[in-house]
Amino acid sequence: MPNLETAFLNKTFSNPTVLSSGILGVYGSSLVRVAIEGAGAVTSKSISLNYRSGHPNPIIVEFEAGLINAVGLSTHGIDDSISEISYAVKNSPSPVIASVFADNVENFALVSQRINEANPDFIEVNISCPNVESEFGKPFATDPKTSAAVTSAVKKVSKAPVIVKLSPNVPNIKLIAKSVVDAGADAICAINTVGPGMVIDIESAKPILSNKVGGVSGPAIKPVAVRCVYDIFSEVDVPIIGVGGVTNGSDAIEMIFAGATAVGIGSAVHYRGIGVFKKVSKEIFRFMDTHDYSSIEEMRGLAHE
């Protein structure tokens, strides 16, 4: 009988599926619901120190091959966020990952410090939001040095193990992976959205998103995500949460073969409903059963052989 249990750092997930940051993860209650509905772990929407209203609507638009979003990192501020995460940590049957972001290294440390109060199982450092520029003039995740600086600042203060979330929009993701692992990252999450992209309404001749551009997710980005996970696995020796376009069991297996320890699911919540975690787990189980794999561990990174 195949076993879906997935050891991830100091925890064991009941299955390798993980709710990705920014999907249904604003409130603790949603995180708990997704955990109950079958996610092996759940990630909160990225939290910052101060309230940010985000962009006006539309903030998401669907295209033929995925979604494009520019939610604009709207957050309710650190105090509200702490209470939401606390609620999730107390009530979720699955481990809770608190995602944080900030506009400079110091604030990354501050928000991570504060989030300790909520006792999340892991902290995920979102250095890869395509719409936020660092104090150094480009997204943190595009530069190995800034990526490392953020990582070590968070690592210094965080009580929970630190996952760093990378962007695919870089010439060489191996470089970034190496730099954050050298700086102390316990795990890597890859990838954040691709692009950015733009969808223009041809009737009004206007970009649809109020922010004009947004990050691309869903089936469109799966090959890029799989390649990134493959690259990172070949470069560093920490567990990887593979995210990007995973919609069914086959996609999840592809990620695991590429080197993922756990598999993030975001846009597929839209395509297959909140039950997608249970469905994907069943599909993974069935594949393992018919292909004589007994553990997720055993399948990890097989595409490298």
Partner 1 sequence: MNEGAQNSGRLNKPITLPIVKVVDEAKDFKSFYFDFDLDAKPGQFVTVWIPGVNEKPFAVSGQKDGLFSVTVSAVGPFTNKMHELKEGDKVGVKGPYGTHYKISGPDCDGTGAEHKNLVLVAGGYGVAPLVFLAEEAVGKGVQTTMIAGTRTKELLAFREKLESIGVEYLAATDDGSEGFHGFVTDVLENQISQGKASEICACGPRPMLERVGAIAEKHNLPGQFGLESYMKCGFGICGECAVDYKGIHICKDGPVFPLATAMKIFRFKKENDNFSQDNTDDKSEKEVF
Ligand X SMILES: Cc1cc2nc3c(=O)[nH]c(=O)nc-3n(C[C@H](O)[C@H](O)[C@H](O)COP(=O)(O)O)c2cc1C
Active site residues: 129
Touching partner 1, residues 1-40 (CB under 8 A): 2, 4-5, 14-15, 22-38
Does 45 interact with partner 1 (rule: CB under 8 A)?
Answer: yes
Kindly state the smallest distance separating residue 142's Cβ from its own copies, in Å: 5
User: What span, in angstroms and rounded, lies between the C-alpha atoms of 203 and 41?
Assistant: 42
User: What span, in angstroms and rounded, lies between the C-alpha atoms of 86 and 68?
Assistant: 30
Q: What is the dihedral of CA 215, 218, 224, 225, to 10 degrees?
A: 100
The helix (run of H) or strand (run of E) holding residue 169 is none
Does 208 interact with partner 1 (rule: CB under 8 A)?
Answer: yes
In the complex with partner 1, which residue's Cβ is closer, 104 or 210?
210
Task: Give every CB contact of residue 56 below 8 A, 6+ residues apart in sequence.
Answer: 210
Tell which phi-psi region holds residue 101, choosing left (phi > 0), alpha (psi between -120 and 50) or beta.
Answer: beta
Q: How far is CA 115 from the centre of its chain?
A: 17
Degrees, nearest 5: CA angle 181-187-190: 100
Residue 288: count of CB within 10 angstroms of its CB: 21
- Binding part of the chain for its own copies, among 30-38, 57-65, 84-92, 106-114 by CB under 8 A, reads 57-65
CA 173, 150, 213, 277 torsion-angle sign: positive
70 binds, among ligand X, its own copies, partner 1, none (CB under 5 to 8 A by kind): none
197 binds, among its own copies, partner 1, ligand X, none (CB under 5 to 8 A by kind): its own copies
In the complex with partner 1, which residue's Cβ is closer, 165 or 279?
279
Kindly state the smallest distance separating residue 222's Cβ from its own copies, in Å: 7
Tokens of residue 235, six digits: 């470069």
State which of residues 40, 95, 139, 239 lies at the interface with its own copies (CB under 8 A).
Answer: 139
Touching ligand X, residues 152-171 (CB under 6 A): 165
User: What span, in angstroms and rounded, lies between the C-alpha atoms of 67 and 85?
Assistant: 26
196 binds, among partner 1, its own copies, ligand X, none (CB under 5 to 8 A by kind): its own copies
- The residues of the shown chain that bind its own copies, judged by CB under 8 A, are 63-66, 68, 138-139, 142, 169-172, 194-200, 202-203, 205-207, 212-213, 216, 219-224, 226-227, 230, 250, 253-254, 257-258, 287, 291, 299, 302-303, 305
